Every structure is written in C-alpha cells, then in structure tokens.
Homo-oligomer: A and B are copies of this chain.
Amino acid sequence: MTFLTQSVLSGDRLALARLLSQVENDTPAGRAALDALFAHTGQAHLIGVTGAPGTGKSSLVNQLALHFRRAGKRVAIVAVDPSSPFTGGAVLGDRVRMRDLAGDPGVFIRSMASRGSLGGLAAATAAATQVFDAAGFEVILIETVGAGQSEVDIARLAHTTLVIEAPGLGDDIQAIKAGILEIADLLVINKADHPGVEATERALKTMLELAHPVRKVFLHHGQKFELNGEAAPGTALWIPPVCRTVALSGQGLPELLEAIERHAAHLRSSGDWARRERARLEAEFDLLFQETLVARFLAQLPAGRLDSLLAALQERKLAPRAGVEQLLNGDGT
C-alpha cells in the first residue's frame, strides 16, 4: 500500500482529493490504489439522488448532508453532471450550496463531469464512491443531473435511490418519469410549499400503482395495507413512499431521513442489501473482465488482420457475424 493510500485511510483530506483525481483519470496509481482499498469497502450506505432540473435537488442533497451530519455520520457528496465538461472539487459542488457545510471536516464534496462517454462517467463515479467508502464516509450521496440512462446507470450504484419531483413541472417531465420511477426506492416531492403539490402527489401515486400493480393493496393476516412505504410485516415487499419536503426551510427532512433509514433496515432484513452489493460487484467485475479479455485477444492478433476484416465488411463482401467467426477462429483473410 502506498503512502497516498495510507494517508487516505487515516483521514487526510488533501490525500483524498489527490487520490480521487488519480482514480477518476484511471491512472496506474489510481488503479493500484483502488485494488488496495477494496478490502476496506462495503461499509457505506450509498444513496442516489436523481430528478429533473428545477426540482431543487442540490438544495435537498445539501439538507440531507446536514441532517446526516447531525446524526453523527460522515458524509460524502458525489455530484455527477453528464452534460458538464468540468470536473474536480470546486465547480459544481463547492458552489453556492455549501455555505452550511463548508469547513466541516466530516463532509467531502466532489463534482464529476462528462468523461467523453457515459460509461466512463459511471465507472469514474463508481471508483470515487469506492474511495469514499474506504476512507470511512458512512453516507455517500450520489447526485445526478438530467434525466435518462445516466440516472439509471448511476442508480445501479446505490443501495437507496431517491427520485425528486416538484409541483408544477408539467407534462414534459411526466413523460420521462415512467422509466425513472422503476429505479425509485423513495419519491420526494420537494418544494412542497408550492401550489400543485396535491396534484403531483396524486400523479405519482397513480404512476406507482401502474408500476407496482400487485402491490397497490395487499392483505397480510387479514389486515389491509395500502401504499404507504412500509413493507407489510413479515414480507420483503418495499413500496416506495412519497415524502414531501421543503429543502430551503428543512421541512420534512427528519421524516425523509427516517424513511431512508427504514429503507436501509428493510434492505438488510430482507437480504436485498447483500443482493444489491453482489449485483454491483458482479457488474463491475464483468466490465473489467470483458475489457481485459478483449484487449488481450486484440493484442495477439497479427497486424492488419482487423483492418482487412473491416474493409471487407465495408465493401459488403463479408457479413459482421461471419467476420467475427473468422476473427475468433483465426481463419485467413
């Protein structure tokens, strides 16, 4: 283990910032550090926070961090913006939001931005998350901007995913919501002091019913349970609760924290925590395995072999599947 890695484990913030840069840029030192830190990971509660622009997501993440700090937990924030070309500590995260958190050694904020491909961004985010986990941050808030596949990829990292809505964002947002709802463990209506909060809550509950048709109402020991975010006693069901918050005033935050803790407890008692961990590790392993396998295969190919195949492909002399067969079987061109 290097000096840098050891400094990170012992809580050195400057070392942490430097290591994060190496890991995000996928340097050899960064990779070695990830390997060395791996044994120290698996402790943190990873919480994904996603939602459309205009929902007040950043303020809510800020408030969540404050409330987790009050509960005595060390908190890291990873702010991911696929549309931004900027990365590092100072651009997105350290902006306006951090007035209340600045100077607190129990909080660390890191902004991640586009790395050319979305796959690259997800990998870099996963790597940063592992560093924070190893460095002893107990709660890691992963905030994503935008709507689409990036959210889904990054949500796969998290144990608990919060989807943030706000009243009155209109039909355009509704159209996107269907896919996003599938990843939600908790739904949060932020800006709940704005008009239209009831309509938004109704719409969300209707969509939840569509997404979880069998879960809408269920019976347990003759008792009827409805959509309320509680698992029925003795079952492993989790129905996403709908929480109302006002991030600017902190209203609803204690209840939201409670719901998050309840979800973590549910994950642990149902065995889903271990299952999510395993799925996450498997996905990471698969990616690395495939990359390495392909790179090794290509490295031992005779020079020009691939190019001549691709040329034959472009001239329509060879179909892709036949070309793959030739490549893997080592047939002559």
Question: With A83-B176, A147-B176, A294-B294 given, can you name 16 additional A-B contacts, CB distance below 8 Å?
Answer: A35-B320, A38-B320, A52-B172, A53-B172, A54-B171, A82-B179, A146-B147, A146-B148, A146-B176, A148-B148, A149-B149, A277-B314, A285-B320, A289-B294, A292-B324, A296-B328
Q: A70 an interface residue at 8 Å Cβ cutoff?
A: no
* A17 beta carbon closer than 8 Å to chain B: no
Q: A35 vs B316: C-alpha distance in the bound complex, in angstroms? A: 10
A23 in the interface, Cβ–Cβ < 8 Å?
A: no
Shortest beta-carbon distance from A52 to chain B in Å: 6
Q: CB within 8 Å of B: which of A283-314?
A: 284-285, 288-290, 292-294, 296-297, 309-310, 313-314
User: Is B288 in contact with A297, judged by CB distance below 8 angstroms?
Assistant: no
Inter-chain contact A321/B53, CB cutoff 8 Å: no
Say yes or no: A294 contacts B290, CB within 8 Å. yes
In the complex, residue of chain B having the shortest beta-carbon distance to the beta carbon of A114: B179
Whether A39 contacts B316 by the Cβ 8 Å rule is yes
Question: Within residues 92 to 122 of chain A, which ones have a CB less than 8 A from any CB in chain B?
Answer: 114, 118
A214 close to B (CB within 8 Å)? no
The 7 A-B pairs of least Cβ separation, nearest first, read A148-B148, A149-B149, A38-B319, A35-B319, A53-B175, A83-B179, A83-B178
A–B pairs, 28, beta carbons within 8 Å: A34-B321, A35-B322, A38-B316, A38-B320, A39-B316, A39-B317, A39-B319, A40-B316, A41-B316, A53-B172, A83-B178, A83-B179, A118-B152, A145-B175, A146-B175, A147-B148, A172-B172, A172-B173, A281-B310, A281-B320, A285-B313, A285-B323, A289-B294, A289-B323, A289-B328, A290-B294, A292-B324, A293-B293
